[in-house]
Amino acid sequence: ERKGDREAFQGRPSHGDKKLLFSSIVIPPSPPEYECDAVGKFMCEDPKYSIECVKFHPDFPPKEIIDQDYERGQGFAKVPDLYPEIGAWFTDVFATKPCPPMEPTAREKMLYQMTAADYVAMFKAGEVTAKEYAEALVNRMMHYEMLNAWFVTSYETSHYIIEDAQAIDDKAAADGVESVAPLYGLPVPAKGTMASTDYPGGAGLGILDGCYSTDDAALLKLIKEANGIIMGKTNVPEYACSWQTMNHMNGVTRNGYDFELAVCGSSGGSASAVGSYIAPLAITEDTGGSTRCPAHANGNFGYDPPR
């Protein structure tokens, strides 16, 4: 925190149309159909997946630079000084990307600066609706898409967040404000490693991009039961196995304070979203520093419950 059912909505795919992930691994129906007109998708004529089919996100080091590292026999760059091409790309390309300023209204600025508790209090007092709040956050999320804080697929389906917020408002209008307690439509970004039926995403792996889970993670179920809204899935390194948040499908996550600074990992997408005032809080997890390091790097308070 900063110091309904999918098929109920028109246009959302049914499980019969989804590529499934996690609960039962079902990589797309045979024969697989892949397209290279979307970042990270595969274009292969047989079930084998080839690295030659991969398209890299424009905010990820180009393949030719990666190949130069491997040609040296050292694998992917760990120390920029030892790999001048990688270091130059981060310094001269990634860190210098223009960031268009946002000019929010006084009302929008107030909404961005609210804590989760502030939102709940205002909703209960009838001073803000779930839809108004969700729209404000999604507008900021999309304006700063170049932060790469979410998966590409979550940016593409961000309108679901607003639809879910409208459903909360409708329920509150029909059954009373307390019918949507205790979260009252609070948007909560989910870490990209979490199983989710709401939004696709394969733990940072391009080969699993577009896959849905057959069931929600236990924590996401609790949030939904508490009338919270899942605010997409945030960017992570592949399988959350790095202290830097980047993958070829979704790019490198930027730090909202300074693009030359790292967001750390593996919960860097969630941390960037909160540190950039796009969400008041977000889900992380910590095995070897994945909450602590991103919280420190993005100016957030990170909390891991005792076990």
**Active-site annotation holder among 55, 131, 191, 224:** 191
**Active-site annotation holder among 154, 196, 266, 270:** 266
Give every CB contact of residue 105 below 8 A, 6+ residues apart in sequence: none
**Rounded-to-integer distance, Cα 205 and Cα 188, Å:** 22
Amino acid at residue number 230? I
Give every CB contact of residue 306 below 8 A, 6+ residues apart in sequence: none
For residue 270, indicate whether it is catalytic.
no
For residue 290, indicate whether it is catalytic.
yes
Pairing of β 187-191 and β 229-234 = parallel
Task: Report the candidate in 228, 295, 158, 177 with the shortest Cα–Cα distance to residue 4.
Answer: 228
For residue 221, indicate whether it is catalytic.
no
Task: Report the candidate in 164, 136, 151 with the shortest Cα–Cα distance to residue 206.
Answer: 151
Tell me the CA end-to-end span of the chain in Å, nearest whole number: 20
**What tokens does 105 get?**
């209204």
Omega before 31 cis (within 30°)?
Answer: yes
**Rounded-to-integer distance, Cα 186 and Cα 235, Å:** 20
- Could you list the active site residues? 191, 266, 290
